[in-house]
């Protein structure tokens, strides 16, 4: 099994590789600096900007992903459609659309802001801490997922009842219910009352 290194890098526009930096924020979501990705998640955690995406099909079912086993943080657990961190200076909306395409091969339709939520979730398995100011987005998945196997182990579209069954038997990310509950008003507006969210 290949392991994604905790000190991931990305290619800069100049073609060099750089450590991934996250945007540190205050309690109001105002940028106050940057930190290397792993350092920001070491206990007690540094409050940083993040995003979470919830995409639905035409039947109002939520697209879940199971995080790849090679991920250094929360590997192999189920979570919302896509989540991650904007690069410093990158708009959360742009980061959400970018990562959804990179991870799942989907360009979301009708992607809309669904508020923000702030939380502190330690991950008992990895010892890392999610201190996040999270920007929420909802939208539609109008094409079949084509997951990047290094990022996503599996996908599933679920109704609220199917999610409840899966949540009772499978392991989900520490942040999943927090972000889902915070996004519910926008989810109901997108999917309609009949979808049951």
Catalytic site positions: 83, 132
Q: Which of 49, 98, 104 is nearest to 81 (CA)?
A: 104
CA distance 62 to 77: 16
Report yes or no: 135 and 94 within 8 Å, Cβ to Cβ: no
Q: Are 60 and 158 in contact (CB under 8 A)?
A: no
Query: Measured between alpha carbons, how far is residue 69 from residues 3, 152, 171, 177 in Å?
Result: 8, 8, 13, 21
Rounded CA-CA distance 44/185 in Å is 31
Give Cβ neighbours of residue 16 (< 8 Å, ≥ 6 apart). none
């Amino acid at each position: 099994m290949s392991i994604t290194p905790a000190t991931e890098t990305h290619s800069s526009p100049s073609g060099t590789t750089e450590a991934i930096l996250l945007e540190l924020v205050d309690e109001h979501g105002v940028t106050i600096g940057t930190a290397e990705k792993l350092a920001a998640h070491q206990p007690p955690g540094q409050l940083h900007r993040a995003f979470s995406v919830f995409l639905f099909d035409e039947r109002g079912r939520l697209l879940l992903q199971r995080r790849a086993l090679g991920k250094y943080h929360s590997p192999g657990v189920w979570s919302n459609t896509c989540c991650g961190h904007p690069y410093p200076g990158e708009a959360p909306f742009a980061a959400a659309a970018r990562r959804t395409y990179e991870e799942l091969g989907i360009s979301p339709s009708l992607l809309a802001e669904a508020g923000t939520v702030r939380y502190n979730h330690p991950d008992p398995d990895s010892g890392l801490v999610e201190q996040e100011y999270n920007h929420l987005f909802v939208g539609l998945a109008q094409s079949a997922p084509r997951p990047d196997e290094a990022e996503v182990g599996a996908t599933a579209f679920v109704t609220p009842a199917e999610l409840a069954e899966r949540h009772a038997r499978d392991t989900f990310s520490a942040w999943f219910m927090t972000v889902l509950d915070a996004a519910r008003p926008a989810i109901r507006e997108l999917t309609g009352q009949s979808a049951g969210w």
